[in-house]
């Protein structure tokens, strides 16, 4: 078994990518309220701040800040994935299981990056808000409903016309 080395900083801020096993699925947006409820429930038990988030059909990106003295983001992800899976099953959705009895919904791992400074934070927030455009789901960040972009606009942190599909933006984000 591969030993994954994760950077754990108590009270740290992290960028995550979490993905479904089936990359053609739209289950995250089709059942976005169940996913949001899983986040809310886990946050009540194990507080953390969601600094930015985008939920796409088959994966999500988010930035979290953990409380001082706490570095357990893995436990939070385990709980969010488990709760979302459980709630999906309650809707009657059939989920296949592997030989170990694990549901075949989520990829087993997730990608994490420790945010180093304000510039790194801002670049990752931009990446999150640009992602629906990158994947061809919309022409404008404003048009994607499952994003913290709308909160950033409401708070005056970004203008409503911040991200629109263009070759200049595509070059900026490595398209």
55-92 pLDDT, tens digit per residue, is: 999 999 999 999 999 999 999 999 999 999 999 988 88
Asked whether the beta carbons of 149 and 164 are under 8 A apart, the reply is no
Count of H helices and E strands in the chain? 6, 4
How does the average pLDDT of the chain come out, rounded?
A: 90
Give CA separation, 53 vs 8, 74, 167, in Å.
20, 17, 24
pLDDT (tens digit, 9 = 90+) per residue, 124-139? Answer: 999 999 999 999 999 9
d(CA 58, CA 20): 5
Q: What share of the chain has pLDDT > 90, as a percent?
A: 77
Query: Against a cut of 0.95, is the pTM above it?
Result: no
- What is the second-level CATH architecture of the domain 13-172? 2-Layer Sandwich (3.30)
First to last CA, the chain: 34
């Amino acid at each position: 078994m591969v030993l994954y080395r994760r950077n754990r900083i108590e009270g740290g801020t992290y960028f995550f990518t979490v993905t479904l096993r089936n990359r053609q699925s739209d289950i995250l947006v089709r059942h976005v309220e169940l996913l949001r409820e899983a986040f809310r429930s886990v946050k009540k038990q194990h507080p953390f701040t969601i600094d930015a988030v985008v939920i796409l059909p088959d994966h999500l990106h988010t930035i979290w800040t953990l409380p001082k003295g706490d570095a357990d983001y893995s436990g939070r992800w385990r709980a969010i994935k488990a709760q979302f899976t459980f709630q999906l099953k309650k809707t009657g959705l059939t989920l296949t299981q592997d030989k170990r009895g694990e549901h075949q919904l989520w990829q087993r791992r997730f990608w994490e990056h420790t945010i180093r400074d304000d510039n790194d934070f801002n670049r990752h927030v931009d990446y999150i808000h640009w992602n629906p455009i990158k994947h061809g789901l919309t022409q404008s960040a404003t048009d994607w409903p499952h994003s913290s972009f709308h909160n950033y606009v409401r708070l005056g942190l970004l203008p409503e016309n911040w991200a629109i599909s263009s070759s200049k933006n595509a070059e900026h984000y490595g398209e």
